[in-house]
Structure 1
């Protein structure tokens, strides 16, 4: 594996440099990574891994093209590698993606205590925990709880509401990055030059709540929907806590990289 891909994702796209890929015009410009549980018997004969190995077509360190296997064991293939080529990201594309979601980047919020919302170290941007502040300025508060107990206390919220909270956290993170790049004359980068490296989420949780990972999908999905491939292959952690500042339901941190 390339080390850049989310292990939770069955099909992962890779940004391996062209110089490390298969040579020749006939080879694809993108690759697929196999589920190690896949059976070789499910692959088309022309793409059978053993056949490729025995024919000497597989160079050291190369990946087999156009084949992937889903978690349910169904295999698929693409004969045209260009179908999996990453599309170039622009600010126009980002704006279009936001409009499709009926969203826009909100004004960046200031810190709620003695810290900086963003710290830059080289090409890496480290973002402090961001809150689930909605477009109207309100915050999503509450304790994420199992469905069986949500109705027993008005302070309890379900996984779906937690998911929404994580989405707002992610949108606010992107807003902070966008504002920093727009105001920093030392770089010509904008949001289209950002590659998300890692998300870290803290979910305010009931003792019996075990769906923190599903809550954090809200942040991951939003990042992917807005940034496309640049947001899709990030590392991630999700933990539960019995309390968060201001009673918020979710707090999310982010590490991203400027790629100019």
Structure 2
């Protein structure tokens, strides 16, 4: 039998943070049928960004990959508004990753790998997902990355 997700998180030394408050007129996530869609999640920790700026200027690729992981953890927290346990996730369907970068920055896909690799570590086969990674000129609060996620649940 597969390891419970909470046990896997403990093994990885990861805690799911509290749900970040919405910054505008939206809800953190919405369930319809067996799908849950998250709103875009910034890499907030305790309601604040650890880093601000753009990739290829103020933010390094390694830093942005860590910020993408935080976005993912924040997204997971919003899923728990609709399910009792992350074990109820049958499949991570899709990740969408927006990366604020300098005009010459073209490695959005590598930033997104921070979140994609963490999903695989947490969920194993259930974590295999479709994805997009898009470069944008800016994000709310001058964040370097924003992530949305769609999952299928039991």
Q: TM-score when scaled to structure 2? A: 0.91
Matched, 1:138 2:48: yes
1:129 aligned counterpart, secondary structure? coil
1:181 Cα deviation after fit: 1.2
1:103 Cα deviation after fit: 1.6
| Matching residue within 99, 116, 119 for 1:223 | 119
Question: 2:102: which partner in 1?
Answer: 206
2:134 aligned counterpart, secondary structure? strand
Structure 2: runs of 5+ lacking an equivalent: none
**Contact 1:166–1:216 (8 Å) recurs in 2:** yes
Alignment of 1:81-92 (within 5 A): 88-89=2-3
Alignment of 1:240-259 (within 5 A): 240-258=135-153
| Cα separation, 2, equivalents of 1:113 and 1:142 | 21
| Cα separation, 1, equivalents of 2:150 and 2:82 | 14
**Contact 1:181–1:191 (8 Å) recurs in 2:** yes
1:242 Cα deviation after fit: 1.1
Alignment of 1:45-64 (within 5 A): none
1:230 Cα deviation after fit: 1.1
- What does the per-residue CA deviation read over 1:135-178, in whole Å, with 9 as the maximum and x for residues that have no partner? x5431321011xxxx4xxxxx11111110110000011111112
| Cα separation, 1, equivalents of 2:31 and 2:47 | 27
**Contact 1:171–1:222 (8 Å) recurs in 2:** no
Alignment of 1:7-26 (within 5 A): none
**Contact 1:199–1:235 (8 Å) recurs in 2:** yes
Pick the structure with greater CA Rg: 1
Question: 1:100: which partner in 2?
Answer: 11
Question: 2:21: which partner in 1?
Answer: 110
Question: 1:49: which partner in 2?
Answer: none
Alignment of 1:176-195 (within 5 A): 176-182=78-84, 190-194=85-89, 195=91
| Cα separation, 1, equivalents of 2:121 and 2:81 | 20
Q: Which has the higher contact order (CA 8 A, sep 6+)?
A: 2
> Which stretches of structure 1, 4 residues or longer, exceed 6 Å deviation after superposition?
none
Question: 1:38: which partner in 2?
Answer: none
Q: TM-score when scaled to structure 1? A: 0.56
1:106 aligned counterpart, secondary structure? coil
| Cα separation, 1, equivalents of 2:53 and 2:12 | 25
